[in-house]
């Protein structure tokens, strides 16, 4: 009998933001493979005594797969602990295909994405009635190219909320793409480094024109989320369109509209 391998989203960094189920699996794990220094605190905080713990930051995909298969042959519960959510930039399918081929059972426990944690840290909303109702999670092309039609300039043309992962070192490309898509120089941009990390979180607000200079001044060059959205700063707007869900004149199955 082989054990089961769980791909657990550790969330954005704060070990208290892991899900209850994720923590329970860590506490029961016989082996944990965690993703670099990003989630080491959660791995060691909740792991039981005697648990086999390994950092994967120096491992190739083949080495990760081999380690998981070997651990599953010796332990009932094996956890692959990943940053954020395993389904977002987590190479999930690349890791699970060999497990399926080997007949090893696996499952995924979702985690809080850094996109959501960044908006929360800054007190911002990603959607707003009559402003934007769509959120695009994307990145700038680097060593990993973007599929045709998914270039940032094309996505930015929708003028909706953009959560841009893994691109802080290419902030000049973000500026270029937004300008090419017609965004104004004074359009607000939010950058959050290490969202939710106790004592390490940095929040920088700027515009397309000055966000790169502000990030350089704050010494932000890694582990940062970039958010461009027409909803940024809405807390300070003089007026907002009201949400229909809470409007007294709007009926739904739990409440009748007032006269």
**How is the chain split into domains, by residue range?**
4-109, 114-233
Q: Please state, rounded to an integer, the average pLDDT across all residues of the chain.
A: 93
pLDDT at position 76, please? Answer: 97
More confident residue, 50 or 248: 50
Give the three-class secondary structure for 163.
Answer: strand
Q: Give the CA diameter of the chain.
A: 67
**pLDDT tops 90 at residue 208:** yes
pTM of the model: 0.92
**71-87 pLDDT, tens digit each:** 999 999 999 999 999 99
The predicted model gives 43-67 an average pLDDT of 93
Q: Are 165 and 114 in contact (CB under 8 A)?
A: yes
CATH topology of domain 4-109: Cobalt-precorrin-4 Transmethylase; domain 1 (3.40.1010)
For residues 56-66, average pLDDT = 95
pLDDT bracket for residue 259 (50, 70, 90): low
Topology (CATH level 3) of domain 114-233:
3.30.950
Which spans in 107-185 are helix H?
A: 114-122, 152-156, 171-180
pLDDT at 179: 98
What percentage of the chain carries pLDDT values higher than 70? 95
Buried b (16+ CB within 10 A) or exposed e, 32-52: bbbbeebbbbbbeebbeeebb
The C-alpha angle 91, 95, 96, rounded to 5 degrees, equals 115
Band of residue 242 on the pLDDT scale cut at 50, 70, 90: confident
The per-residue pLDDT for 143 is: 84
């Amino acid at each position: 009998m082989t054990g089961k391998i769980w791909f657990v989203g550790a969330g954005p960094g704060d070990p208290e933001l892991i899900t209850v189920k994720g923590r329970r699996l860590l506490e029961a794990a016989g082996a944990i493979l965690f993703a670099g220094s990003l989630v080491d605190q959660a791995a060691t905080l909740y792991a039981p005594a005697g648990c086999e713990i390994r950092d994967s930051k120096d491992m190739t995909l083949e080495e990760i797969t081999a380690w998981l298969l070997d651990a599953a042959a010796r332990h009932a519960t094996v956890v692959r602990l990943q940053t954020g959510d395993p389904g977002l930039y987590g190479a999930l399918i690349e890791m699970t295909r060999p497990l399926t081929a080997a007949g090893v059972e696996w499952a995924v426990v979702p985690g809080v994405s850094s996109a959501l944690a960044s908006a929360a840290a800054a007190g911002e909303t990603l959607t707003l009635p009559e402003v934007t109702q769509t959120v695009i999670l994307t990145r700038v092309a680097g060593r990993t190219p973007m599929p045709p039609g998914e270039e940032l300039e094309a996505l930015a043309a929708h003028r909706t909320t953009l959560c841009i992962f893994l691109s802080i070192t290419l902030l000049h490309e973000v500026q270029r793409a937004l300008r090419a898509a017609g965004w104004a120089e004074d359009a607000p941009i939010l950058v959050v480094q290490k969202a939710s990390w106790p004592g390490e979180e940095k929040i920088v607000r700027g515009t397309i024109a000055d966000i790169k200079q502000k990030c350089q001044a704050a010494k932000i060059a890694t582990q940062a989320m970039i958010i461009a959205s027409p909803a940024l700063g809405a807390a300070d707007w003089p007026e907002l369109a009201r949400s229909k869900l809470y409007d007294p004149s709007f009926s739904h199955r739990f409440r009748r509209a007032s006269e």
